[in-house]
Amino acid sequence: MNVTFRPITWNLRTRSLTTGDHTLVMGILNTTPDSFSDGGGLMDLPDAIQRGVQLWGDGADIVDVGGESTRPGAEPVEVEAELARVLPVVEALASHGIIVSVDTYKPAVAEAAIDAGAEIVNDVTGLTDPDMMSLCAATSVGVVVMHMQGTPLTMQADPTYGDVVVEVGAFLAGRVHAAIEHGIDPSRIVVDPGIGFGKTFEHNLALLSGIGRVGGDVPVLVGTSRKRFLGTILDRAGRPSGSEDRDAATLATVTLAIAGGASVVRVHDVARTVDAARTADAIVRVHE
């Protein structure tokens, strides 16, 4: 395996994370009624907090809290509803010393979550809202800058690219440049090619295969967990699956992403991902 391992330090609002020891694992915590995999399961506050603590105990480096589904076809959620879903969870988890990311594209939600202790803003729209860009610069949070063609409501209607790896990479490079121009330190930025966000089955495979070319010199986060394209792969193999049955397939993509140079992986099943990631790390990080 010919892989050049490049450790990174990701500076957050008050803390920092490094991949010097291992690939970072971000655990997914959806406080939504309609997320594609676990929607409705964590609407009760004590259950959501318990799940976040469990993800941390299972080895997550970050717990990513979201209050609006961004599955294909999802309708937007009002700011007040999203705030009610995420703020108590963010505050409770941060009080336990857990590194919390808030999964939102709304500046008002991000600002309140940062005030409640969030260290990272995970923005599926790639900081295209100038107010979000300014907020992230002013608060010195870590940021995840993602690519999405269209919106969650429309993104899977007819996603089209000439060369998806080149075009997604160019978009992310442009957003990183804009972030730096607006005062966000490069050490706070991670990019996400947005697997499943305005991409066909073939586009997703191409991005995973070319993950080392997507981020350039910027650390890359890969989020494939339980997504529909994995169901397509399993269907074609004669093994039909629901979203909750795709954790083994997810682990395959996690290990391949790490081999391709990913610095962060975002998943539902943290415990098994940590096992798979540590194994991949041991292989990728062998120095001749």
The Cα diameter of the chain in Å comes to 54
Burial class (CB in 10 A: 0-12, 13-18, 19+), 230: buried
What number of other Cβ atoms are within 10 A of residue 24's Cβ? 23
Cα–Cα distance, 78 to 80 (Å, whole number):
6
- Cα angle: 44, vertex 46, 52; to 5 degrees: 100
Give CA separation, 157 vs 69, 72, 78, in Å: 17, 9, 23
DSSP for 184-211?
--GGGEEEE--TTSS--HHHHHHHHHTH
* Token representation of residue 26: 């971000």
50-63 per-residue burial string, b: 16 or more CB within 10 A, e: under 16: ebbeebbeebbbbb
Catalytic positions = 227, 266
Cα–Cα distance, 6 to 20 (Å, whole number):
8
* Token representation of residue 271: 């415990």
Contact 129, 79 (CB under 8 A): no
Cα–Cα distance, 51 to 32 (Å, whole number):
14
**Beta strand 9-11 with 16-18: parallel, antiparallel or unpaired?**
antiparallel
